[in-house]
Amino acid sequence: MFEQIIAPMEPQSRAILKEGDLNHYFQVKWDGVRMLAFVDGERLRLQGRSLKNKTSIYPELSVLPDLVKGNRIILDGEIIALHENRPSFYAVMQRERTGFAGISRITTLIPVFYMVFDLLFFDDSWLMDKPWNVRQEMLEKYLKENDHVRLVPSYEDGKILLETVRENKMEGIVAKKTDSPYIPGPRKSSYWYKTKIEQTLEAYVGGISLKNTTPASLLLGMKEEGPEGEIGKMQYIGSVSSGLKTKELAAWYNWGMENRLSSSPFANAPLHPGRNLLYVNPIRKVEVIFNEWTPDLKLRAPRLTSRIEQLIHH
């Protein structure tokens, strides 16, 4: 059991909630990374969606064996980190990128929390064929919470939960049928479905992509805070042109020529084959709406809002 590899169950996507779904419960969809936890006595193994061993990256969760009322157990959940008191996929991926070498520093800077929502194995029994509501009752009975481990609550009213999540600018919700088995694997199951909300963030403009000599898009980045508030280089998170008119792009280009840099302000190189890149001093922010983060931490389907800040100096 301890060494077994299990691909987590995946929900289908749905733009809106189904009306009158009385046989579903609803949970918050956390903006984090999926993680299975295998406990065997005092041993712990954390396995990500990629099926790789992640145990060394999250030492805060080494207490899990002390929190379960059983010798052998498999949990499913999501590891999250907070930015401005909200779950942030970007923040938890900073932990992933840091790896084991810098873990003592990063655990203080970016603590994580394990949001547990399912129980797959307990002592000598597999539970994946049991109904979801039975697994939930067992999970509440056999797992204790602490500062870094939390049970994900379930709600009967999906509409109210979705509106609450929207007001708090969180990722979305997941609906789960009460009689749902746990079906491992990448194939998305109709027993669970997720409804996601568009996300908003502020990003620095670190460059302008040019098609020949014509400005085509803005290169966006996020500055990462280091020890003692130190700000390092930006991480490139993608480019945006949607929401910009031709005259606005021209204005950005003129501003960029006045604030150009001789080298990239990004820690990772933007890839724009066949285009020239004008790098600029990242002192100006824009607000961006996007669908989700890609696995390599780029914005999916970004577009600019009308709210653009004035020059910001750091």
Residues of the chain with CATH 2.40.50.140: 199-311
For residue range 201-216, what is the model confidence (pLDDT) as tens digits?
A: 899 999 999 988 889 9
Task: Name, in order, each residue with C-beta under 8 angstroms of 190's C-beta and a sequence gap of 6 or more.
Answer: 12
| CA dist., res. 150 & res. 206, Å (int) | 38
The CATH class for the domain spanning 199-311 reads mainly beta
pLDDT of residue 310: 43
87-125 confidence digits (pLDDT tens) = 989 889 888 877 655 677 788 888 999 999 999 999 989
Percent with pLDDT over 70 in the chain: 92
pTM above 0.75, yes or no: yes
At residue 20 the predicted structure's pLDDT band, cuts being 50, 70 and 90, is low
Residue 240 to residue 238: CA distance in whole angstroms: 7
Vertex 290: Cα angle to 18 and 52 (nearest 5): 85
Average pLDDT, the chain: 88
> Is residue 108 exposed (0-12), middle (13-18) or buried (19+ Cβ within 10 Å)?
exposed
CB distance 73 to 2 below 8 Å: no
Q: Residue 127 has what pLDDT? A: 97
Instruction: Determine whether domain 10-196 maps to CATH 3.30.470.30.
Output: yes
* Range(s) of the chain covered by CATH 3.30.470.30: 10-196
